[in-house]
Structure 1
Amino acid sequence: MLGSILSNILLVLGCSFLAAGLKFSESSFQATAAQTSASLMTLACITLVIPAAFHSTRENGADSDMHELLIISRGTSIILLGIYVAYLYFQLKSHSNLFEATPQRNQHGEIIEEDKEDPRMSTVAAGIALLGVTVVTAFCADYLVASIEETAERYHIPKIFIGVILLPLVGNAAEHVTAVWMAHKGKMEITITIAVGSSIQIAVFVVPLLVIVGWITGHDLSLFFANFETITLFASVLLVNLLLQDGKSNYMEGLMLVGLYIVIALAFWVS
């Protein structure tokens, strides 16, 4: 989960800014919508920091405060799921106009006309194709996860590096390519929706849902992450927030995001 979030907000968004920077000197997008998404990502990050901070301030061991961590995690998960539902309503219904595409301009300030594309698949066909690809991806992911142990031993790759860096890259490859391609075509709203929106989906929906499902099935899952992972996520979200707040992007901002991702990957390699 952590690796997927990091790859989306750093690598995918960074490569997208780079791709857009190769064609446009500066790309624009809806600052309000982007900042709302980034702020929600920050909220999710803070909810992961709180359990880690709670654990670090306790004098007892991890086993003794596990009950308190579970109470905090389960209550937080319920709140996050409610916020995610409200965010969907905000994005798709009440403030959908904020997520409409911003016209791109060339160096002379003239609006660049977008190429209109007619749909080539019906809704039913697209749904069936998406379902089929999801099933195939699930089997591939299961096989990939099962081979981690052997791969780590054979090639002397740290398991945490495989889990946080390599698996998210392989699992989300199609999504990554789509985000970069949309950025190169000047459709930054779609790019940010894919990159930041996917991270929000994982942090505000998938992770809390896993905690709730674990609660129902009798598995003690919490939102507690190790200090290093928590600090890494917080620093990444902070940088993304700073870069999105002006509603503009360029290739230099893309380099910053990709550079931070490489530094984090290096840290996980030696950890």
Structure 2
Amino acid sequence: MAASAGLVGLAAALHFAGAGSLPSFAACALALGAVAHLIGEATDHLGNYLGPAATGIVQSAVGNLPELFVAIFALQAGLVVVVQASLIGSILSNALLVLGISFVVGGARHGVLTFERQASRMIATLLLLAVCALVLPTLAHELHLPAGEHEQSLSVVCAIVLLVVFLVQTRVMLVHGQRTVPSEARGRLRAWPPALAVGVLTLCGVVAALVSDWFVDALGPAIETMGLSQAFAGLVVVAIAGNAVENVVGIRLAAQGKADLAVSVVLNSALQVAVVLIPVLILISFALGGAPFTLAVPPILAVALFASVLVVTVVTVDGRADIVDGVALIGLYVIIASIFWWG
């Protein structure tokens, strides 16, 4: 906790001192990762008192706060392309890069990894639904269909559908005692008192909003300084920075041979972005005014996302994976990232 506070303090000092965009950007990215780590820890400790199902709901509600605030402030700054790319990049980085690294690391240590097929199949199904909600509005827009002239209304409809699916999933979690991220993913010796866990979550929510604002302030100048396109910065840099904690957790679990937990953590992180974060952000963007966030994304983003989820479904459907599967996923991610290197 002290290290996280130190990183947040460093980000604040660089921001208010008017330091260069790159140091401020890097410090804010590290601070966001530290805040996300604390949110995950507090949620897991709170799970000792709420039970696994309620813990999963809290995880979904607060786990993506840093990324949500970054997207909101970026929309207010007019960085719509960055927001679109970063959200899709979050799904791609988890489903391809992190899952691929997990399979490589786990396969190198334990050979062929086996995991429960039913859970991965359910996640893949929901991811495919979310991808369709992105691809179909994009096709309607690009093919100049009548629905393409109402992309804002169509985006709202898709957002509501995805949130309804999430509510159904939540009900299943409550009825059957399932959870979004297994509590075994992070071991602990002693649980925090409930008041401390709630207090840390509340404080992290406030700090996440502040650091996200500083992060977006430094984002534009940092992109120009590094000579990156907005699409590449959002798809790779912002997406990986926003999911650093989940990335480390999933890879560590795979290295320990806990393939079930690794796949659950990594794919559920992508799923939460697809069926919760994106729909909520669409509705919030209309409430805030300014640049609306719609599901009519650049066609190459939609195609890359659809192809990636199909590949992940094929790789995970049999409940077995090895180094070759991991290298294939990483290779696809590198190809997609390379496409956006030039804008």
Same fold by TM (over 0.5)?
yes
Please name the residue that 1:269 is paired with.
Answer: 341
Please name the residue that 1:202 is paired with.
Answer: 273
Please name the residue that 1:94 is paired with.
Answer: 176
Please name the residue that 2:231 is paired with.
Answer: 160
Bigger helix share = 2
**RMSD between aligned residues:** 2.8
Q: Count residues with an aligned counterpart.
A: 254
Please name the residue that 1:237 is paired with.
Answer: 309
Q: Point out where structure 2 has 5 or more consecutive residues left out of the alignment.
A: 1-86
Please name the residue that 2:159 is paired with.
Answer: 77
Please name the residue that 1:254 is paired with.
Answer: 326
Please name the residue that 1:120 is paired with.
Answer: 190
Please name the residue that 1:176 is paired with.
Answer: 247
- Name the SS for the 1:147 alignment partner: helix
Could you tell me whether the CA contact under 8 Å between 1:14 and 1:257 is conserved in 2? yes
**Percent identical across equivalent pairs?**
30
Q: In structure 1, what is the Cα distance between the partners aligned to 2:260 and 2:233?
A: 31
Change in Cα spacing, 1:90 to 1:187, as seen in structure 2 (3 Å) is farther
Cα deviation for residue 152 of structure 1 reads 2.3
Please name the residue that 1:11 is paired with.
Answer: 97
Could you tell me whether the CA contact under 8 Å between 1:19 and 1:184 is conserved in 2? yes
Please name the residue that 1:106 is paired with.
Answer: none
- Between 1 and 2, higher relative CO (CA 8 Å, sep ≥ 6) is seen in 1
Please name the residue that 2:114 is paired with.
Answer: 28
2:263 to 182, 192, 201: 192
Could you tell me whether the CA contact under 8 Å between 1:42 and 1:237 is conserved in 2? yes
Please name the residue that 1:51 is paired with.
Answer: 137
Q: Deviations over 1:157-189 (max 9, x none)?
A: 222211110111122211211111111112223
What is the letter of the counterpart of residue 321 of structure 2? S
Change in Cα spacing, 1:36 to 1:179, as seen in structure 2 (3 Å) is same
Cα deviation for residue 122 of structure 1 reads 2.7
Under a length normalisation based on structure 1, what TM-score does the superposition of the two structures give? 0.83
Q: Deviations over 1:33-83 (max 9, x none)?
A: 1011011001100111110111122179xxx954x2122211121111010
Could you tell me whether the CA contact under 8 Å between 1:148 and 1:159 is conserved in 2? no
- Name the SS for the 1:96 alignment partner: coil
Under a length normalisation based on structure 2, what TM-score does the superposition of the two structures give? 0.67
When structure 1 is superposed on structure 2, of 85-94 and 42-51 the one drifting more is: 85-94
Change in Cα spacing, 1:131 to 1:187, as seen in structure 2 (3 Å) is farther
Q: Deviations over 1:72-131 (max 9, x none)?
A: 211121111010111223345337399989xxxxxxxxxxxx9x9554223624444444
Matched, 1:148 2:230: no
Q: In structure 2, what is the Cα distance between the partners aligned to 1:87 and 1:141?
A: 29
